[in-house]
Amino acid sequence: MMKETGTYEPVFTDDRRAKLDEIIARYPTKRAALLPALWLVQETHGWVSDEAMIEVAQTLFLTAAYVKGVVTFYTMYHQHPVGRHFIQVCTTSPCSLCGAERVMEALLEHTGCGDLGATSPDGRFTVVEVECLGACGFVTPVLIDDDFIEGVTVEQVPELLGRYE
């Protein structure tokens, strides 16, 4: 059973409601606006909580369970709060061949996250390993929030992280 805590700040009011309505008009069904709606939730709250899933469900005339089923299928929706900056590093074969795992280790070390998926104690970073970022010729590709950074080397990691407070 999904819980409501009563302190939830709704996403689809005013401008964001208008934005969602504009998106809904692009499709013949309301359900089709589900992925874009979840993106709006994540942009607003930083993650997709159970309460947000309930709001999305009510807005699009779906059940909350259905929405949760979709959220859990896609890896980019965060089902729990993450650090202020979310770092995704690719380590699939073409990147692995060129030493991406060492970049991943440097990111874990310099952020203080320690483990993949964990948030640093200061709440600044979360680092995850991602399966193929589709930039295999630009090793190592790293996605920090919406910034896609190509050709990251172990040596560049401290300076790169310094850009994100």
Chain residues in the site for another protein (CB under 8 A): 26-29, 31-36, 38-39, 60, 69-70, 73-77, 88, 91-94, 96-98, 130-139, 143, 146-148, 150-151
What is the smallest separation between the CB atom of 136 and another protein, expressed in angstroms?
4
Closer to another protein by CB, 6 or 28: give it: 28
What is the smallest separation between the CB atom of 132 and another protein, expressed in angstroms?
5
Closer to another protein by CB, 139 or 157: give it: 139
Tally of CA atoms within 13 A in the half-sphere of 77 that contains its CB: 22
Q: Residue 71: helix, strand or coil by DSSP?
A: helix
What is the smallest separation between the CB atom of 45 and another protein, expressed in angstroms?
15
Closer to another protein by CB, 8 or 66: give it: 66
What is the smallest separation between the CB atom of 121 and another protein, expressed in angstroms?
26
Cα dihedral 98, 101, 105, 110 in deg (nearest 10): 40
Q: Measuring CA to CA, how many Å separate 163 from each of 49, 64, 115, 131, 148?
A: 28, 38, 21, 25, 13
The span from the CA of 135 to the CA of 53, in Å, is 32
86 - beta bridge partners? 126
Q: Measuring CA to CA, how many Å separate 87 from each of 35, 82, 90, 165?
A: 21, 10, 10, 13
The span from the CA of 144 to the CA of 165, in Å, is 12
Closer to another protein by CB, 64 or 136: give it: 136
The span from the CA of 69 to the CA of 56, in Å, is 13
What is the smallest separation between the CB atom of 116 and another protein, expressed in angstroms?
13
Closer to another protein by CB, 75 or 117: give it: 75
